[in-house]
Each structure stands twice: as C-alpha cells, then as structure tokens.
Amino acid sequence: MKQVKLDDLYRDTILDHYKNPRGRKELDRIDAEHKGYNPLCGDQVTIKAKFTNGYLEDVAVDSQGCAISVASGSMLAELLPGKSLKEIQQITEAFREMMHGKKLPDDMDIGDLDALEGVKKYHSRIKCALIPWITLNDLIKARQEKETLVSPSLPE
C-alpha cells in the first residue's frame, strides 16, 4: 500500500488540537450557551461564553466529533478570547471564505486556523470545520436578539 498523502489535511497541529482540545474547560461565569448539531454526521458541539463590555472574555468548547471539527473548535477557543464581537465576526467570515477557496486578508491573525486550509479540498468535510464557528455565531446572534429587547443599542 502506498504512503498516505494526507498531510495537507491532518497536519500535526490538527492532531495536537484533536488530542488536547483547548476549550474543554469550565468558565467561572456563563453568559450564554449554545449547542450545535449536524445530524448528518452526528457531530455535536456545545459552546459556553463569558462576555465583558462587548468582548468575548472567555469561551469553553466541548466537541464530540471528528478530528477536523474538534480541532477547529479547539482553535476557536484558543484564538478568540479577548476579541470584540466585530473581530469575531470578521474572523468567522474569513475562515468561511478560506474553506471556499478564498485567500485570507494579509493582516489577519488567525492563530492555528491556517492548519485547516487543507480541508477545503475535501468537500464533504468543510462542514466539519465550520460547525463550531456556526455555533458561536448562532450563540452571538441569539444573545444580541435577547439583549436588543432590553437595551436596543449594544456596543459591538
């Protein structure tokens, strides 16, 4: 059998995040919580977040799924704490575009996420990489809708 040629997909960084997911922790305060689920492959992710002044102060990510989705969630947990909601939105958008073949803006810091670039060639796996990001996005949206009811002008 020929040597595996998957190093563009499962880079060491990914396997490292997969085996030691960074976000699997407790938060001292939970401001919002959201569950993501892909019934088509059974992947599940639970995200808990702590916000301070419109910043994501900390985030816990608990993934059950394949190496790609677990690693992606772990990278999310490593990269995002301390970022503003606007920054998070930009990174999420950039990552989604990367999965669909676009180049990243030069000046954007995406931490270990670039290790996931190889996924874009595996169409059936793109969803795996995106699921934690979609879930966080849903969490933020749900929170904003709730808060709008209380105080309509929210800092970004």
Partner 1 sequence: MTTKTDGVIQMPAETGKQVLNVDIIRNDFPILNRKIHGNRIVYLDSAATTQKPACVINALSFFYRTSNANIHRGAYTLSEESSSAYENLREKIARFIGGVDQRGIVFTRNTTESLNLVARSWSKANIKAGDEIILTEMEHHSNLVPWIMIAQETGAVLKHIPVTEDGYLDMDIFYKLLSERTKVVSVTMVSNVLGTINPVSEIIKAAHSYNAVTVLDGAQGVPHTKVDAKELDCDFLAFSAHKMLGPTGIGVLYGKPELLEKMEPVLTGGGMIQEVTLNSATWAEIPWKFEAGTPNYADVIAFSSAIDYLEKLSMDAIRIHEKELTAYTLERLETFPDLTVYGPRDIEHRAGVVAFYDKLIHPHDLSTILDSYGIAIRAGHHCAQPLMRRYNIPANVRASFYIYNDKADVDALIEGLKKAREYFQYETS
Footprint of partner 1 (CB under 8 A):
1-2, 4-6, 9-10, 15, 39-44, 64-68, 122-125, 128
Q: Which two tokens stand for residue 8?
A: 């563009």
Tell me how far apart the alpha carbons of residues 60 and 46 are, in angstroms, rounded to a whole number. Answer: 8
CB of 74: closest distance to partner 1 in angstroms? Answer: 14
| Complex with partner 1: residue 27 or 126, whichever CB lies closer | 126
CB of 125: closest distance to partner 1 in angstroms? Answer: 6
CB of 123: closest distance to partner 1 in angstroms? Answer: 5
| Complex with partner 1: residue 52 or 64, whichever CB lies closer | 64
CB of 153: closest distance to partner 1 in angstroms? Answer: 31
| Complex with partner 1: residue 1 or 149, whichever CB lies closer | 1
Fill in the amino acid letter for 71: A
| Complex with partner 1: residue 10 or 51, whichever CB lies closer | 10
